[in-house]
Each structure stands twice: as C-alpha cells, then as structure tokens.
Amino acid sequence: MRIENDTLGKVKIPDDVYYGAQTKRAIDNFPISGLKLPGRFIKAQGIVKLACARANGFLGLINRKACRAIEKAAMEVTKGAHDRHFVVDVYQAGAGTSQNMNVNEVIANRAIEILGGKRGDYTLIHPNDHVNMAQSTNDTIPTSIYISASEAVRDDLMPALKSLKGALSNKSREFDGIVKAGRTHMQDAVPIRLGQEFGGYADAVKKDICRLRSSSESLLYLPIGGNAAGTGINAHPGFKSRVVREIRNITGIKFRSCENLFNGIQNVNPALELSASLRGISISLGKIANDMRLLSSGPRTGFAEIKLPALQPGSSIMPGKINPVMPEMLNMVCFQVMGNDTAIAYATQASQLELNVMMPVIAHNLLFSIEILSNGINAFTGKCVKGIKADEKRCKDYADSTLAMATALNPLIGYASAAKISAEAYRTGKNVKQLVVEKNILKEKEASRVLDPRRLTGK
C-alpha cells in the first residue's frame, strides 16, 4: 500500500493501481451497481486530457518534459491500456467529479512513472494542477459524452443501420413479383406485393438514418473551455480554440466550441436530442421485428408468408419448434433503449442553475443504447433479414382470397353493392371473383382483368 493525501486527509491506496485518493474514496462511497462507464467513454476522457495537455503545452503553461509524459499517458488511456484502473461506479458523485478525478489520477501517476518517479509523487505531475489544468468536471464530462457518442454513432450505429437498410432493400427487389394480401387493423385489406412491404421497411430505416444524422449534429458543439460555470476561469484566452482544434485532429470529427458556454454547461440537451433519435429508431425497428414475427408465424397455423432462418430449437418441451429469435431479441433491445431514453430525459431535465449533475447516468444510458442497438441491428441483419425466404404460393392464395378485393368493384358497381359482394363471399367461402362471375356482374375475362391482384398493387 501507499499513502496519499487529499483535502480530507490520508488515504491508503494499493501499490499496483494508477488511481489515487479521490478515486479510492469514490470506490468506498459508491458500492452501488458494479457498473462502470464503458471503454468508449474512458477513451473520450483520454482524448480530452490529451488535447488539453497539447493545448496547454502549446501555450507554454506546462514544461515540455511534463507535457510529453502527460500526452503519452493520455494516449495510452485512449487505447484502453489502463481500463482496469477506471473503477468508479456509474452511480457516483454528481456531475462526474469522481470520474474526472479518476482519469486525472490515472494519467498523473502513469506520467510520473514515465518520468521515472514513483506513483503518488505529485510534485512531478499533479492530477489537478497539470492533468486538469484549465478544466473542470463540468466541461470535461459533457465533452467526453459528446466525443464518445459521436464516435459510437459514426463507427457502430450508422454502419449497422446502413447495412440493415441495404439488406431490406435487397429483399424488396427480390420479393417484388410476389403478390399477397395487405392487412390493416389486422384484417384483410387490398393486395400488395411482398417487395412493397419490405420496401416500406427499408424506407423507414432510411428516414431513421437521416434523423440520426441530424440529431448527431448537436454533439459537435463542445463546452470544453467553459471550465466550472462557463466563464473559463483559470484558462488561457487561447485555450478554448486550441483544445477544440486538438480534439478535431485526434478524432477526425468536425467538433467546434459551443456558441454559449454557459448553456453548454447548464444543459446536456445534445445527449437528450440523440437519445430521442435512438428512441425513434427503436420504435421503427420494433415495428419491423413485430412484422417479421407475424409474417413468419406458423408454420401451419399462422401467416407463414415468409420463412426466417432456423437458428436454434425453440422449446424445451415441444420438439421441432423453431422460434423467431432474432426479431424477439431486437424487440428486447428496443424496449431497453426506450427505457434508457426515459432515464436520460429525467436526468437531463434535472439541470439546476449553472450545472447538470446527473451526467454520469446520462453517459451510461446513452452509450449503452448505442451499443446494444448497433449490436442488435447487426445480428438481426446478418442472421435474420439476409436469410429470409418467401412462400410465394401462400402469398398468392391470400391475395386471391382477400375479401378486400371487392374494393376494385367500387368504380363499377358502387361501394354499397361491393360491400354486399364482400359479405356474401365471407358467408359462402367463395372468393370475390367467383361471385361477380356467377352473378353476371362481370364476364370471366373482365373479372380476371379487374380483379387481377398484381394489377391492383400498382407499379
């Protein structure tokens, strides 16, 4: 063990860890969930500290030797080399002060080691005076949220959604010639093509991609440089612009400074906006997953218009049963994301005066949502959508027998008479075409043209 001091006194720290006194106090104070903020957030914290060190070094505020050691330690953090030393529970001190000090202490002690010193010798590199120079928890934590969320959307979620859209579009083309009965209110409706149905799914995902891209734009405005309350106290006049430039260079993302740093620190609305977009994506995907379950229901007593890939046995008691496990999984993911969004909404509205103190739980839920959505979509696309097969005969039988075929008679005999034909078809078990021919309403050839399911689906 080694002994470290903070403003409250002495703290015993295990020799083999890089964190220090304030992190150890947080470990002892918050044994809440065992959940830690994810590696992507830790990486973003490393990016912030790396950029700040470079900015302060450029401005001549840290000597070159110390600056290089901090930069090297921060770079190691961005690569995940020290993830095991980030130990603070998600449910921690407000705003994420413990989280900020965790990274400050890890980088400081690693930088001290790089300089040949012993961990805890803060005369060489100090967590607050050097690693946290010109910064506060209040601007570094939201900045880390926006960096980590931007990278997660760019690298994981956006590619996953584009892959799903592509797979659904391929199925739309593959199934374009297959006519089936449409259904509204879960009742018979006019004929459509299976390809048109899948085209609707593809377009829904396309629109979700557009909304995601739009909501992600708000993440580009970083409050770094505002320090504790937005005034930039203790920061060099050139710090704000320099550090944002460094973050852009490190991430390749076109971040810029908040137009109003006071608003940027008081509110975490960009996270709320992105989370709302994720909720919308979940609603769209939930509908698609539900449809896959319905369309594949059966195989003998359900719709059975499509067949999903058989991935695993579906019952511990019913032999041979195969369930739609990928749509079921995706539904669960979507429900979790909606719940996360509720937590984020409450946490975001809890901002008071100059600060939102609920940022750790916002970071956790936002990044968790992006992660499970990305992974869930990838699994659903690869193991379900790409392998879907259509039962063309089953679809045709439904198209021929739907009572809503009578809709095509409206221009010829009027709505009321067409309704009588539909009711009689239901009562007798005959299809609409049979009845109009039997009743001499239309000749066989004309009935085949007017009541051709494929023609009724449009182009």
**From the candidates 33, 214, 241, 315, which is the catalytic residue?**
315
Other beta carbons within 10 angstroms of residue 176's beta carbon come to 15
Helix (DSSP H) and strand (DSSP E) numbers for the chain: 18, 8
Q: Residue 317: what are its φ and ψ, rounded to 5°?
A: -125, -30
**From the candidates 185, 351, 369, 448, which is the catalytic residue?**
185
Is 315 annotated in the active site? yes
CA distances from 282 to 172, 186, 205, 338, 398 (A): 21, 22, 10, 7, 30
Tokens describing residue 406: 């009578």
Tokens describing residue 105: 């202490």
Strand 306-307 to 221-222 pairing: unpaired
Is 98 annotated in the active site? no
Q: What whole-number distance in Å separates Cα of residue 133 and Cα of residue 121?
A: 18
| Amino acid present at 303 | F
DSSP string, 111-154: HHHHTT--TT-TTTS-IIIIITTT--HHHHHHHHHHHHHHHHII
Tokens describing residue 262: 């006071």
Show which residues are catalytic: 185, 315
